[in-house]
Amino acid sequence: MSQNRQVRDVVFVDGVRTPFGRAGDKGIYAGTRADDLVVKCIRALLRRNPQLPPERIDEVAIAATTQTGDQGLTIGRTAALLAGLPNSVPGFAIDRMCAGAMTAVTTTASGIGFGSYDVVLAGGVEHMGHHPMGAGADPNPRFLSERIVDPAALNMGNTAENLQDRFPAITKDRADAYAVASQAKFAAASAGGRILPDLVPVATLRPGAGWTVNTVDEPPRPGTTLADLASLRTPFRAHGRVTAGNAAGLNDGATVALLASAGAAEELGLPVKMRLVQYAFAGVEPSVMGIGPVPATEKALKLAGLTIDDIGLIEINEAFAVQVLSFLDHFGIADDDPRVNRYGGAIAVGHPLASSGVRLMTQLARQFAEDPSVRFGMTTMCIGLGMGATVIWENPHFTPNRPPTSQARPGTPAAVAPNTEGSAA
């Protein structure tokens, strides 16, 4: 029987997220639990997809980088119970630092492809206000005594400065210009109604201020200029190049995606927003972890039988502008290429670590619907301790010879269809 098993197609049905907040006592989620943010997303997905019987959900995978407190206790299972899913629905927690939600998606997608699941929920949460990055961690002393990892690599800002040392063509002015563009693109996408449809309103209570319903992201700074960024201090190195203006901030938020086999989606009448083509993870030197998306993308493209020119839309997580620019330079892509982060990125909207992967997917899915001229898109990100992750998706709305939208510059359709047989392997 096992010798005749066929790998099944995996589809992205839907994805939602909470508005992202600024970490800290003044942030919108200062008094809100991390697990409650996940619950909001799960319940929203069920409301948006009423044709899905909750008992048909086979797994709930939720990632968190700091798995303690309100992000601990096997958060996939606890969030499923808190959301009111049947007791029969299992769940688990996952950790791959910034790529937590992305790994939750690829892990459960593999189960769908193998035939173990039909429908899953996968996402991530990070409450950096409650759990600052690295808080409570106890790195093995061998990391330093045996020089396995440069001490600077344990601070992500230092790794960004190291990356700029390695690529002197990526100047601070260039990084600042990229950051200004990210803010402007996100502001335009928000004004155009492209962000709000996938946000889950979250009511929060603040002492002395009563209840507030949060419906928009807190971190963006529309109207940011180069002059605004030029005077910011460089906290990771004297006379450095990485600032709070050309990097993602410290944020709180949650994301959850609904995935299914193509057959289950058809049976249940669920929409198909993307089809999974291939994915890959790769390791790099921890001290320059930001370069991780490069080998991960090369690996994923090779497995899929595609080239970077086949990719018509790229959603890359903007942990730091230098990290994005090193990726673009490697593949010969211009800083302002309209394929890249069409709605802006984490420099504007924020990066609640383990949750960000599904934000990239949700934005890509909406861009696919807007632009049928694009066949393939990609979500990619760097990962702490020296890794990268890339997931390649196919647009179910793709129409050959369709003129691109005014924003688009589509990739060249592949001469041969990608090898989807390995998409969930």
- Measured distance CA(92)–CA(72) in Å, rounded: 10
What is the number of other CB atoms lying within 10 angstroms of the CB of residue 31?
Answer: 13
**Active-site residue flag, 41:** no
Tokens of 168: 């002197």
Contact predicate 109/424, CB 8 Å:
yes
Tokens of 362: 């949700």
DSSP-assigned letters across all residues of 267-311? HHT----EEEEEEEEEE--GGGGGGTHHHHHHHHHHHHT--GGGE
- Measured distance CA(288)–CA(190) in Å, rounded: 33
**Residue of 288, 315, 313, 311 whose CA lies nearest to 298:** 311
Q: Catalytic one among 239, 330, 382, 397?
A: 382
Contact predicate 124/101, CB 8 Å:
yes
- Helices 293-304, 321-330: axis angle to 10 degrees equals 40
* Angle ∠(72,73,76) on CA atoms, nearest 5: 90
**Active-site residue flag, 98:** yes
Task: Report the sign of the C-alpha dihedral through residues 365, 369, 371, 373, in that order.
Answer: positive
List all residues 6 or more positions away from 19 whose beta carbon is below 8 Å from its beta carbon: 28, 199, 200, 201, 202, 214, 215, 216, 217, 218, 253
Give a three-class secondary structure readout of 124-147. Answer: EEEECCCCCCCCCCCCCCHHHHCC
**Residue 102: exposed, middle, or buried by beta-carbon count in 10 A (0-12, 13-18, 19+)?**
buried
Tokens of 81: 């119970």
Residues forming a β-bridge with 61:
92, 122
Q: Catalytic one among 41, 98, 127, 130?
A: 98
**Active-site residue flag, 330:** no
Q: Catalytic one among 127, 130, 131, 351?
A: 351
- Active-site positions read 98, 351, 382
